[in-house]
Structure 1
Amino acid sequence: MESSRIKRKRQKEIMLVSQMIKLYCHKNHTNQNGKELCDECQELIEYACERSEKCRFMKNKTFCSNCRIQCYSPEMKKRIQKVMRYSGPRIIIYHPVLCLKHALTGVIEKRRTKRD
């Protein structure tokens, strides 16, 4: 059974990546038929959520970018990198608290992995 700490980490990761994909989609794709996201971005969110749910290393990592094992397929990895390059610098404007928590967590994780 998964601990509540790990569940929270998964939820935070999924929330952050979803917000970044939504930001990317709203700024780069046209709203199709009143949908919140285009089909391509919705597929990317679903894929990212699936990968996060199946991650065996969640206990020891903070975010996928800090993981030693990259489980995304090459195509999806290219797509998520494109989204992250666009959304990363802009997310602070739309979700400043979320962004600061992410940055702080990333710094702490990098320091922890250097010690190990």
Structure 2
Amino acid sequence: MTVDEKRNLELKTMYQIIGIYCHNKHHTPKGQLCEDCEQVWEYAEHRIDACPHMESKTFCSVCKTHCYAPNYREKIREIMRYGGPRMLLVSPIQVIRHMYLEWKDKRGTP
């Protein structure tokens, strides 16, 4: 997978998770974000686009560099905890792939 493909997949996943969170917590129509979630998305999008480790990293949660500001890091963590498990209903293959890559990273296998 190329760096651009990884970046696009991460952007797509992040947008879907924020969308799930926003729809369920803020009662927005599917596919739309409230002003606060839109702000989080724009920040996350910028950070993902600027990620210097995209070529070698698997996920932000296991990255050694924390490029999110503390207040956004906490908000993203909250959104991921809520929306991540619910992604299983939206994109089960993506969730399984994520779990596999995270497991692989923890084991230290290439």
TM-score calculated relative to the size of structure 1: 0.85
Q: Tell me the residue number matched to 1:56.
A: 52
CA distance in 1, matches of 2:23, 2:17: 10
Among 74, 77, 89, the alignment partner of 1:93 is 89
CA distance in 2, matches of 1:16, 1:31: 18
Q: Which 4+ residue blocks in structure 1 deviate beyond 6 angstroms?
A: none
Q: Conserved in 2, the CA contact under 8 Å of 1:61 and 1:109? A: no
Q: Conserved in 1, the CA contact under 8 Å of 2:19 and 2:31? A: no
Q: Tell me the residue number matched to 2:38.
A: 42
Q: Tell me the residue number matched to 2:15.
A: 18
Unaligned runs of 5+ in 2: none
Q: How many residues align?
A: 110
1:22/1:35 CA distance change after superposition, 3 Å:
closer
Give yes or no for the alignment of 1:9 onto 2:6: yes
Q: Percent identity?
A: 35
Q: Larger Cα Rg: Structure 1 or Structure 2?
A: 1
Q: Conserved in 2, the CA contact under 8 Å of 1:21 and 1:87? A: yes
CA RMSD of aligned residues (A): 2.1
CA distance in 2, matches of 1:97, 1:35: 20
1:35 deviates by 7.8
1:16 deviates by 0.9
1:31 deviates by 2.5
